[in-house]
Amino acid sequence: MTFSRDLAMRALDTARVRGATYADVRYVRREVEQMAVRNGHIDSVTGSEDVGFAVRALTDGAWGFAASQLLTLPEADRVAALAVEIAQASALVKRADVRLAAAPAPRATYRTPIEIDPFAVPLSERLDLLLRADTAMRAAAELRTTRSSAEISREEKVFASTDGAYVDQTLFETGCGIEAEAVGDSEMQRRSYPNSGARHQNTGGWEFVIKQDLVGNAPRIAQEARALLTAKPCPADVRMTVILSGNQAALQVHESCGHPIELDRALGSEAAYAGMSFLTPDRLGSFRYGSEQVNIQIDSLSPGGLGTFGYDDEGVPGSKGWAVREGLFVGYLMSRETAARLGLSSNGTMRADGWGRLPLIRMTNVSLMPGRWTLDHLIADTDDGIYMDTNRSWSIDDRRLNFQFGTEIAWEIKGGKKGEMLRNATYTGITPEFWGSCDAVCDDSDWVMWGTPNCGKGQPGQVAHTGHGAAAARFRNVRVGVVQ
C-alpha cells in the first residue's frame, strides 16, 4: 500500500472528467515518536504512522474535499468523484464563484536540512536523556511532579494539481522540554524549559535536542518552581514598564500579530470559530500597528522554524516578506483564493494538518525582527519595571484586540537591576496600543526561533506548527497584575 504518481494522476483525471475546473491531490505519510517521563518513570513511549491522501476539487465555482487512507487506484477514483459531488452540493449555497490567483506550477523536491536523523538515535538513548533530566530536577528541589518529553517526526508529502504542479517534500521536526511543579499551601507553581506547553520544537534533527541541554538546565528550573511558592505576588492592577522574555514575546507575536494577519480571518472565513481580525483589508498599508521599533516578518525560508518548508499545500513556493514594517501594517498571510480577492498573489501559507484535513492559511514563521539592545543593557536602562518569562496563560478576543497573558515567572526591575522574583504575573492590553508602546527590542544575541507546535484553527480542528523568531522586548505603561 504505497503512494504513486499514477495514483495522483488518476485522482486528478477523474476529478477533471467528473467536472472539476481545478483539482489537487495531496498525499501525506507522517511518522511520529513521542517519549515522556513523569516522576522518574517512563510515562509513555508512543510511535505512530498516519498515511492517506485527499482530493480538493473546484466545480461549479465551489469547493469539495474528500480524503481516504486507502492508497489504491479505485479509491483514487472514488475519492475524486466524491470531492466533485461535494463541490456540486457546495454550489447550492453560493454567493460568488471561487477564483484562484495565478501561481507557478513547480515540479520540485524539498527536504529539511538535518545533521542527526532523529529516528537513527536509539530509543534507549533518547529515553536516557529524559530520565537524566528528570533525575536532575528531582535532586535539585522538592517537587510534586516532574515531566520531561521529546517528540520527533518525519512527514513525507506529495502535492499535485491540474495546473501541472508536482512537489515532493520531506520535513523533519524535533522537540523537547522539561517541567517542574511544586505544590504548597493553596499554591501550585510550574516552571518549564526551554518553553512552556511541554516542549520547544524546530524543523531539524536531534542536534536541536542536544543544543537545549535539558539536563544542565533542570536544577535551575526545579529550584525556580520551588522558590515561586513563596515568591512575592505580582503587583495588582498597576500600569508599569514590562520586559517580555523572547519566548513570551514570541507567543505575543503569534496571538496578536500572526493570527490577525491571516487573510481568511480578515475576510470572515473563520468567523464561526477562530474568529476574525481587526486588521481588515482597508487597513493594509495605512494602519499603524505598533511603534517604529516593531518589524514583523512573514518567512518560510529561514532554517529551523516550524514554518519552514519548500512549498505550501497549494504548491506555492516558500517566501519572505513583511507583515509590519517600522510599525505599519503592510502584509497578510495569503492563499491563492484569498489573494485573488485583493488582486494579489499567494505568499505560500496554506497548510493542512495531515492528509485528512483541508489546507488553511496558517502562520509560517512570523517573527519579531531583532532590534539594537542586549538584554543586559535593556534591563540596565529600565528604572522600574517587571521582566516576565515563559508563558503560563494566554487568551485573546475573537478579533485579536483584547489580550491577557500570564507568565510562569517574573522579576522586579529596580534601578536597572533584576530584583526579587514574582509569582502569578499577568498583563493585559489592546493589541495596537500595546505594540505602540514598544520602545525597544533586543538584538541577535537574544533572538531565538521559537516554535509553537499547538496552534489551533478550523472546523474540524487542525493543529499547526508555527515558528516565531523573537528577542526580549520592552513595553511602557502596561496594565499588570489581574490576579494575585
User: Taking Cα atoms as reference points, which of 372, 373, 415, 407 lies closest to residue 388?
Assistant: 407
Q: In this structure, are residues 201 and 465 in contact, taking their beta carbons and an 8 Å threshold?
A: yes
The minimum distance between CB 45 and other proteins, in angstroms, equals: 4
Q: In this structure, are residues 435 and 245 in contact, taking their beta carbons and an 8 Å threshold?
A: no
In the region spanning residues 139 to 168, those forming contacts with other proteins, defined by CB under 8 A, are 144-145
Query: In Å, what is the CA distance from 248 to each residue of 202, 390, 394, 447?
Result: 17, 5, 10, 12
Question: Does residue 356 interact with other proteins by CB under 8 A?
Answer: yes
The minimum distance between CB 281 and other proteins, in angstroms, equals: 14
Rounded Cα gap, residues 38 and 187, in angstroms: 21
Question: Does residue 329 interact with other proteins by CB under 8 A?
Answer: no
Residue 300 DSSP label: S
Given candidates 26, 154, 341, 399, which one binds other proteins under the rule CB under 8 A?
399
Given candidates 283, 381, 404, 421, which one binds other proteins under the rule CB under 8 A?
404
Count of CA atoms in the C-beta half-sphere (13 A) of 303: 8
Nearer to other proteins, 348 or 356 (CB): 356
| Part of the chain binding other proteins (CB under 8 A), chosen from 226-234, 299-307, 361-369, 423-431 | 423-431
The cell for 284 is 493594509
Q: In this structure, are residues 199 and 150 in contact, taking their beta carbons and an 8 Å threshold?
A: yes
In the region spanning residues 107 to 146, those forming contacts with other proteins, defined by CB under 8 A, are 122-124, 127, 131, 144-145
Q: In this structure, are residues 406 and 428 in contact, taking their beta carbons and an 8 Å threshold?
A: no
The cell for 154 is 518525519
Given candidates 74, 186, 282, 343, which one binds other proteins under the rule CB under 8 A?
186
The number of residues that bind other proteins (CB under 8 A) is 85
Given candidates 9, 13, 21, 43, which one binds other proteins under the rule CB under 8 A?
43
| Part of the chain binding other proteins (CB under 8 A), chosen from 180-188, 219-227, 246-254, 303-311 | 180-188
Rounded Cα gap, residues 409 and 10, in angstroms: 56
The minimum distance between CB 70 and other proteins, in angstroms, equals: 9
Rounded Cα gap, residues 116 and 170, in angstroms: 15
Question: Does residue 185 interact with other proteins by CB under 8 A?
Answer: no
| Part of the chain binding other proteins (CB under 8 A), chosen from 87-95, 112-120, 204-212, 413-421 | 87-95
* Residue linked to cell 491563492: 336
Given candidates 219, 275, 281, 416, which one binds other proteins under the rule CB under 8 A?
275
